[in-house]
């Protein structure tokens, strides 16, 4: 049955993914099951999406209730779930204005437009520049690709949108060298994901904030993967208290329902996008907004942030033991439940073996094993993961 479905998929779907040879069917807690009934411990969570795991009853019930009321209206009208979701996002993020999107890439698109409109209203010029970071990843739409600092993603689709400059993450001098009177924004992931699980250093964040304040440049933080509790804070920047002017969120924001958002301070909101500048048909529809509301409620009711801060050190400790055991692993890096094992060679075979043994992992670049499990994992789940990964390493390296 599995083979038949995969063959049918290969005939019907555009070949833009190198998929693992498994057809998933359902989930329960932190486990996924394929259509033949095999169980997998999931340390990917839909790429940092399923923060509360699978089939979380209160979440499911909230979405079923919204289906019975209203799925979609368009943004020509108000709807209560979107209003409530915006209020809750403002509370957990400390931002003032919210625009709902359908994805993280769309949130980045909106953030880029916000920066350019903000600068345009100041001086009427259209030659403003955005500084982004090398090795970053912000999405695959044309605007998001333009600020993605990994050439292999951009080159087949050039020319990109213009006036994007790339600095080095955590190298403040490389940023200073690019700042000029045309710079309108500095954009980066608070913890780089696809680029190799690199957290921004506190001093780097602080100095960027200072540069932006001095020059009326917008600090824009991409919290699409590292946000919504992944690091033990709702948003990773909150650990350091370095607040952005604009930020993006998605993935775990909806817990599995496609929804994203970009947020901004009142100052930026009052002097950037206005009626007619930006829009979306589906963004912030009642169904997606109900998912956001319930996710935030469940985070608070179950004190998810405290749980992440409690379990993350145990995960780090166990991963560090693997680093010490295998010369093949160079180092561990990350923050909270967003961790990466940087290896001396490609990790594809290790990830394949792990899946065969019932553990789902992914990479971040060719040589990094990425771990972004549901935020509800326990020590027992960490131990189970480590046991399987240890076996795979022993058999492969």
Q: How does pLDDT run across 78-135, given as a tens digit for each residue?
A: 999 999 999 999 999 999 999 999 999 999 999 999 999 999 999 999 999 999 999 9
- CA–CA gap between residue 382 and residue 68 (Å, rounded): 38
Neighbours of 325 (CB within 10 A): 12
Same domain, 169 and 280: yes
Q: How does pLDDT run across 340-365, given as a tens digit for each residue?
A: 999 999 999 999 999 999 999 999 98
Average pLDDT over residues 292-300: 98
- CA–CA gap between residue 56 and residue 36 (Å, rounded): 22
Report pLDDT for 25: 97
Same domain, 319 and 387: yes
Q: Which two tokens stand for residue 26?
A: 């359902």
Judged by DSSP in three states, 1 sits in coil
Same domain, 159 and 276: yes
- CA–CA gap between residue 159 and residue 154 (Å, rounded): 9
- CA–CA gap between residue 30 and residue 333 (Å, rounded): 23
The CATH code of the domain that includes 39 is: 3.90.1150.10
Same domain, 291 and 309: no
Judged by DSSP in three states, 385 sits in helix
Residue 18 lies in a domain: yes
The answer to whether the Cα torsion of 245, 249, 254, 260 is positive or negative is: positive
Q: Which two tokens stand for residue 254?
A: 């909806």
Domain C-terminal end among 264, 282, 301: 301
In this prediction, what percent of the chain has a pLDDT beyond 70?
100
For the chain, give the number of residues.
Answer: 397
Q: Which two tokens stand for residue 199?
A: 């957290």
- CA–CA gap between residue 95 and residue 232 (Å, rounded): 19
Residue 125 lies in a domain: yes
Residue 319 lies in a domain: yes
Tell me the residue ranges of DSSP E strands in 300-386.
Answer: 329-335, 338-343, 359-360, 362-363, 368-371
Give the domain range for residue 376: 2-55+303-396
By mean pLDDT, which of 15-19, 26-30, 164-168 is the weakest? 15-19
Same domain, 349 and 266: no
Peptide bond into 77 cis (omega under 30): no
Q: How does residue 1 score in pLDDT terms, banded at 50, 70 and 90? A: confident
Residue 60 lies in a domain: no
Residue 65 lies in a domain: no
Same domain, 140 and 158: yes
Mean model confidence pLDDT for the chain: 97
Domain C-terminal end among 301, 323, 356: 301
- CA-nearest of 41, 49, 31 to 229 is 49
Q: DSSP 3-state helix, strand, coil percentages of the chain (rounded to 5)?
A: 40, 20, 40
- Rounded to the nearest angstrom, the gap between the alpha carbon of residue 137 and the centroid of all alpha carbons in its chain is 10
Same domain, 152 and 283: yes
The CATH code of the domain that includes 192 is: 3.40.640.10
- pTM over cut 0.75: yes
Same domain, 236 and 347: no
Task: State the total domains in the chain.
Answer: 2
Same domain, 207 and 307: no
- CA–CA gap between residue 372 and residue 277 (Å, rounded): 35
Residue 380 lies in a domain: yes
Same domain, 258 and 320: no
Average pLDDT over residues 291-309: 98
Tell me the residue ranges of DSSP E strands in 259-391.
Answer: 260-264, 329-335, 338-343, 359-360, 362-363, 368-371
Residue 61 lies in a domain: no
Domain C-terminal end among 301, 329, 345: 301
Q: How does residue 55 score in pLDDT terms, banded at 50, 70 and 90? A: very high
Same domain, 114 and 243: yes
Judged by DSSP in three states, 18 sits in coil
Start-to-end CA distance of the chain, whole Å, equals: 33
Average pLDDT over residues 289-307: 98
Residue 64 lies in a domain: no
Same domain, 316 and 225: no
Q: Which two tokens stand for residue 194?
A: 């696809």
């Amino acid at each position: 049955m599995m083979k038949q479905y995969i063959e049918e998929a290969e005939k019907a779907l555009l070949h833009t993914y190198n998929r693992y040879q498994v057809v998933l069917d359902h989930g329960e807690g932190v486990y996924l099951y394929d259509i033949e009934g095999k169980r997998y411990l999931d340390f990917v969570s839909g790429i940092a999406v399923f923060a509360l795991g699978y089939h979380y009853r209160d979440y499911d019930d909230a979405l079923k209730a919204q289906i019975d009321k209203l799925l979609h209206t368009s943004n020509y009208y108000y709807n209560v779930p979107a209003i409530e979701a915006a209020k809750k996002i403002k509370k957990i993020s400390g931002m003032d204005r919210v625009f709902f999107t359908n994805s993280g890439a769309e949130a980045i698109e909106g953030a880029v437009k916000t920066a350019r409109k903000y600068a345009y209203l100041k001086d009427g010029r259209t030659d403003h520049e955005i500084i982004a970071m090398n090795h970053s990843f912000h999405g695959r739409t044309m605007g998001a690709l333009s600020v993605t600092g990994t050439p292999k993603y951009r080159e087949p689709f050039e020319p990109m949108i213009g006036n994007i400059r790339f600095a080095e993450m955590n190298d403040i001098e490389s940023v200073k060298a690019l700042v000029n009177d045309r710079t309108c924004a500095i954009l980066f992931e608070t913890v780089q994901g696809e680029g190799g699980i690199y957290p921004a250093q506190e001093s780097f964040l602080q100095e960027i904030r200072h540069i932006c304040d001095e020059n009326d440049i917008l600090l824009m933080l991409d919290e699409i993967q590292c946000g919504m509790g992944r690091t033990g804070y709702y948003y990773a920047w909150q650990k350091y208290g370095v607040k952005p002017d604009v930020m993006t969120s998605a993935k775990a924001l909806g817990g599995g329902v496609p929804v994203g958002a970009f947020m901004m301070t009142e100052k930026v909101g009052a002097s950037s996008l206005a009626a007619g500048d930006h829009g979306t048909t589906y963004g912030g529809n009642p169904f997606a907004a109900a998912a956001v509301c319930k996710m935030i409620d469940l985070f608070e009711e179950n004190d998810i942030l405290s749980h992440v801060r409690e379990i993350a050190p145990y995960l780090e400790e166990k991963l560090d033991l693997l680093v010490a055991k295998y010369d093949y692993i160079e180092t561990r890096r990350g923050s909270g439940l967003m961790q990466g094992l940087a290896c001396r060679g490609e990790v594809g075979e290790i990830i394949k073996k792990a899946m065969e043994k019932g553990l789902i992992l992914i990479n971040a670049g060719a040589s990094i094993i990425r771990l972004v499990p549901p935020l509800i994992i326990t020590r027992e789940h960490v131990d189970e993961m480590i046991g399987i990964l240890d076996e795979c390493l022993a058999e492969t390296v």
